[in-house]
Amino acid sequence: MNGSAESVPGTDSAEERVLAVLRRTTLEIVPEVDPALFTPDRTLSDLGCNSIDRAEIVTLAMEELDIAVPVHEFHQGMDLAALAAIMRKQL
Amino acid sequence: MSGTPAGYGIEALDVYAGSAAVSARAVFDGRGLDPRRFDNVASDRRSVALPFEDPVTHAVNAARPLLDRLAPADRDRIELLVTSSESGIDYSKSIASYVHRHLGLPPTCRLLETKQACYAATAALQLAVGYLAGGLSPGAKVLIVSTDMSLADERARYAEPVTGTGAVALLVGDRPRVLTADPGAFGVHSFETLDSARPGPDLDIADADRSLMAYLECLSRSFADYRSRVEGADFATTFDLLALHTPFSGMVRAAHRRLMRELYRSPADAVAADFERRVAPSLVHPGQTGNLFSGSLYLALASALDHARLDGPARVGLFSYGSGCSSEFFSGVVGPEAAAAVAEARIGPRLRARADLDFAEYTALLAENTACLRPAAHRDVDPARYAALLGRAADRPELLALTGVRDHHRQYAWI
């Protein structure tokens, strides 16, 4: 395990794509984030993103993937794997 | 006076945001919150209630100065009093019934309390404007008072430093000095979700992520609905000023940025310049109070009018969001006279006059304030216990205070 999103067992290629987009948008919105910390078991809060950063990262990722996740699917404290899973469903 | 009125909207506006406040920085430091997140909050002070205050006293203390500036003949034309609140004091008896009594409003006045989280005052305003425009009672006025108590304590984490308490009074009629509503210019977006709620009289629950996503989606969708009703409406050019529901300023900044990017793909520096010009004036007063719930949007409007330089008529775009959720984007026209009308309320000086609390004083008050909305058949409250604290508020006006509860009946006195 090298900690990258791509090496996680149990994720399919679509989910890997979502994680890659989330990783890119995270680094775009919060450039201070250490890319090595971006692992599916961490939350965006763990990476130091505040509530506004989190909303912007998710919004940007949805725009990039051209999807709309229903608001009720989001909740506080989701790790990146859970976030990727609800986005993956809309692909 | 005769003839068809030129329009309907807000004639006068006033605010009561408590007699005490604590600095957001003191709450951040006192709770050990991550100081790197303070910039996102971008708030200066949070208004704090004293234990003899409740939704009724807040409402009366906001509306009374407005009514004192009104001619008796105009005051007698108030035919509907609406209180909007998510701080209810009874399942049946409205806050409005107490407010009506303690403001001495005429008996020929309908009383009503509305609830839809932070959207409730806007719902009341839109219904009032529609009612007045219906012409059933020419010259009638409506008094809408949004009034709320904060329950935010350490459980609220990052929301605690930015959750305020207070009331905003709006007088609505056919001489709209403050804001003339654009008839038929609105857009709405509502759907059921649980993003924040108050399931008990001393319990707030909130999911910050879901709430933010709902707010952002609602701004985008309600503006799309507005645009479908108003030919040629353009977010970037139709509105000279913007006032948005302000839970904290970072939220407003994010919402503006998202819409500008979504609609125009605007580069970041252009978005920032537009924000400073059209949105920042609305955030000055809210930064001194914290979130005032459904009054928040109207405090933002007052702030825009107190801080933007208006040389002539200007159009304001307003966005109201209430968790749960219901939202609306609408617009109206203001001008130099609107700024003069709002200036009469002396909101800035009165916010500066509040007593400054240190963190220990603040937490002691929080503990006492949790009793405020809890039902009790009997309760004694002695406002004199807080005389020293209240004495630190400069030039305070006479205030209505809760003195107790007798057989479920709330008792009040002017102090």
Domain CATH code at residue A63: 1.10.1200.10
Domain interval for residue B98? 9-178+347-414
Q: Judging by beta carbons within 10 Å of its beta carbon (0-12, 13-18, 19+), is residue B150 exposed, middle or buried?
A: buried
| B303 occurs within a structural domain | yes
| B4 occurs within a structural domain | no
> Can you give the pLDDT at residue A11?
65
Residues of B (249-278) whose Cβ lies below 8 Å from A: 250-251, 253-254, 257-258, 262
Query: What's the rounded Cα separation, in Å, for the pair B177 and B70?
Result: 13
Q: What is the CATH number of the domain that holds B398?
A: 3.40.47.10
ipTM of the complex: 0.84
Q: Based on the structure, what is the number of domains in chain A? A: 1
Determine the average pLDDT of the residues in A50-79.
93
Query: A7 falls in which pLDDT band (50, 70, 90)?
Result: very low
Query: What's the rounded Cα separation, in Å, for the pair B117 and B198?
Result: 9
Say whether B372 is catalytic.
no
> Can you give the pLDDT at residue B3?
66
| A13 occurs within a structural domain | no
> Can you give the pLDDT at residue B43?
83
> Can you give the pLDDT at residue B117?
98
Interchain contact, B208 vs A51, CB within 8 Å = yes
Out of B341, B362, B382, a domain closes at: B341
What stretches in chain B show pLDDT beneath 50?
1-2
| B220 occurs within a structural domain | yes
Same structural domain, B240 and B316? yes
pLDDT (tens digit per residue) in B308-358: 999 999 999 999 999 999 999 999 999 889 999 999 999 999 999 999 999
> Can you give the pLDDT at residue B38?
84
> Can you give the pLDDT at residue A8?
53
Same structural domain, B166 and B225? no
Work out the minimum CA distance from B253 to partner chain A, whole angstroms. 9
| B306 occurs within a structural domain | yes
**Interface check B25 vs A, CB under 8 A:** no
Same structural domain, B85 and B62? yes
pLDDT (tens digit per residue) in A19-51: 999 999 999 999 999 999 999 999 999 998 988
Torsion of CA A10, A14, A20, A23, to 10 degrees: -80
Same structural domain, B170 and B189? no
| B301 occurs within a structural domain | yes
Q: Please name the residue that has the structure tokens 């945001």.
A: B17
> Can you give the pLDDT at residue B4?
75
| B3 occurs within a structural domain | no
Mean per-residue pLDDT over chain A, rounded: 88
> Can you give the pLDDT at residue A3?
44
Element at B197 (helix H, strand E): strand B196-200
Residue A9 has pLDDT above 70, yes or no: no
> Can you give the pLDDT at residue B50?
97
Same structural domain, B155 and B262? no
Long-range (24+ apart) CB contacts under 8 A made by B198-201 are B198/B86, B198/B87, B198/B151, B201/B373, B201/B374, B201/B375
> Can you give the pLDDT at residue B258?
92
> Can you give the pLDDT at residue B357?
97
Query: What's the rounded Cα separation, in Å, for the pair B355 and B19?
Result: 6
Same structural domain, B141 and B46? yes
Domain interval for residue A57? 27-88
> Can you give the pLDDT at residue B1?
44
CB B317 within 8 A of CB B241: yes
